[in-house]
Structure 1
Amino acid sequence: MKTDIEELRKKYIDNPPEGMTPKDIRNMSEEELLDMDYFLNEDDLFADEAGVEGFYIF
């Protein structure tokens, strides 16, 4: 798990979200980093479920 966190940290250091600097990313705790990643990618979590055949609520 530790290597996954470091890969994620490197990803955001190389390309920080708007309003953040690489220094901000370096100083984040593992929990903060995971939370940020979750919220930045939240819309992608259910992208594959939109328009699933045969599942409609009327």
Structure 2
Amino acid sequence: MSKRSDEIRNKYIQNPPEGMTADDIRHMSEDDLLDMDYFLNEDDEFGEDFPGAEGFYIF
């Protein structure tokens, strides 16, 4: 496993997402772990200061 996936795994073992347990995280494949992390953080890439972050509007 890569160092990054170990960091992610430890992060989610300490604080598992809702509906999961630390044991679930321990037994996840590296690919599943990275997919879950991406899904949980996909909106965080740009932050709240990014134009359009407040929503999508049709005028």
Q: TM-score, normalised by structure 2?
A: 0.76
> Runs of 4 or more off by more than 4 Å in structure 1?
none
Q: Equivalent residue for 2:38?
A: 38
Which structure shows the bigger proportion of residues in helix conformation? 1
Work out which of the two has the higher radius of gyration on C-alpha atoms and give 1 or 2.
Answer: 1
Letter in 2 for 1:36: M
Report the counterpart of residue 29 of structure 2 in structure 1.
29
What is the root-mean-square deviation in Å for CA atoms of aligned residues? 1.9
Please, which runs of 5 or more residues in structure 1 have no aligned partner? 52-58
1:1-58 matches, within 5 Å, as: 2-47=2-47, 49-50=50-51
Equivalenced residues, count = 52
* Gap regions ≥5 residues in structure 2: 53-59
Q: How many Å apart are 1:3 and its aligned residue?
A: 1.1
